[in-house]
Amino acid sequence: MKRYLPFLILGFTITLWAQENAEVDDLKYLEDQFYLGITYNLILNKPDGVTQGNFSYGLEGGFIKDIPLNSRRNFGIGVGLGYAYNTYYTNLFVNETVSGLEYTVLDSDVSYKRNKLDTHVIEMPIEFRWRTSTPSVYKFWRVYAGMKLGYIVGSRSKFVSNSAKISFNNSDIRNFRYGIMLNFGYSTFNVHAYYALSNLFNDGVSTVEGDSIEFRPLRIGIIFYIL
């Protein structure tokens, strides 16, 4: 028995070392996540007479890198990169003229099928993250708040009626975007809200009536986090 004792001690030591390393590895867990979201896009600061119609929606997705700030790793910062597609259906008709784009508020008696503006945006969310997660618990409460930067890489105005179809790139859209956001919920399903601090249009854009167009999008929906 004595000749086996050194091997038993060695095996016990290796087991303790492995357990300690596993615990250390567990303490180094990260909440790196892919995300997917769908929103309803409200427009605030509309000029007089402008109304929304149909279902103005948004789709977004991307990846967020988690940077823990404490030893429990339940508080940290998230920095991500993603893509978003947003649509805005209104009665604000845009027409191309020799002198530039012209904006007219359509009367309620004007018949048309669709009148929308859509944008394609490269986005960078920056979040302060609090959660109740642990290395072994994958369903937890979270509150992520911060800001989102974006750059519009494509924007198009489209009008469709029974007699006409007009579609063109809208050069009056402000490319650089920024706003504040809040995501909170439990497990995979979470509420998402984003409010733009920058106008959707460039400065100086107005309707033919002289009303300044200073759309501020407010997006409310759900976001899914996938580890």
Asked if residue 54 and residue 154 are part of one domain, the reply reads yes
Asked if residue 126 and residue 18 are part of one domain, the reply reads no
Asked if residue 206 and residue 165 are part of one domain, the reply reads yes
- Full-model pTM: 0.84
Asked if residue 87 and residue 123 are part of one domain, the reply reads yes
Residues 114 and 223: their CA atoms lie apart, in Å, by 27
**67, 78 in Cβ contact below 8 A?**
yes
We report the CATH number of the domain holding residue 41 as: 2.40.160.20
In this predicted model, what pLDDT tens digit does every residue of 162-184 receive, in sequence order?
A: 888 999 999 999 999 999 999 99
Contacts of 46 (CB under 8 A, 6+ apart): 52, 90, 215
Residues 6 and 221: their CA atoms lie apart, in Å, by 63
Contacts of 183 (CB under 8 A, 6+ apart): 127, 142, 143, 144, 145, 190, 191, 192, 193, 223
Judge whether residue 21 has pLDDT over 80: no
Mean pLDDT of 9-21: 37
Which pLDDT does position 13 carry in this prediction? Answer: 37
- Which residue reads 């494509």 in tokens? 154
Q: Structural domain of residue 14, as residue ranges? A: 1-29
Asked if residue 83 and residue 95 are part of one domain, the reply reads yes
Asked if residue 213 and residue 108 are part of one domain, the reply reads yes
In this predicted model, what pLDDT tens digit does every residue of 182-223 receive, in sequence order?
A: 999 998 889 999 999 999 999 999 999 899 999 999 999 999
User: Across all residues in the chain, what is the average pLDDT?
Assistant: 86
Asked if residue 126 and residue 100 are part of one domain, the reply reads yes
Kindly state the percentage of the chain with pLDDT values over 90: 66
Asked if residue 38 and residue 12 are part of one domain, the reply reads no
Residue 116 C-beta-side C-alpha neighbours within 13 Å: 17
Judge whether residue 12 has pLDDT over 80: no
Asked if residue 114 and residue 209 are part of one domain, the reply reads yes
| Pairing outcome for strands 176-186 and 216-226 | unpaired
Distance of CA 105 to the CA centre of its chain: 29
Asked if residue 188 and residue 171 are part of one domain, the reply reads yes
Residue 73 dihedral angles phi and psi, to the nearest 5°: 65, 25
**35, 226 in Cβ contact below 8 A?**
yes
Which pLDDT does position 29 carry in this prediction? Answer: 64
Which pLDDT does position 25 carry in this prediction? Answer: 43
In this predicted model, what pLDDT tens digit does every residue of 98-119 receive, in sequence order?
A: 888 999 999 988 889 999 999 9
Asked if residue 74 and residue 4 are part of one domain, the reply reads no
Asked if residue 44 and residue 24 are part of one domain, the reply reads no
* Overall domain count for the chain: 2
Mean pLDDT of 55-64: 96
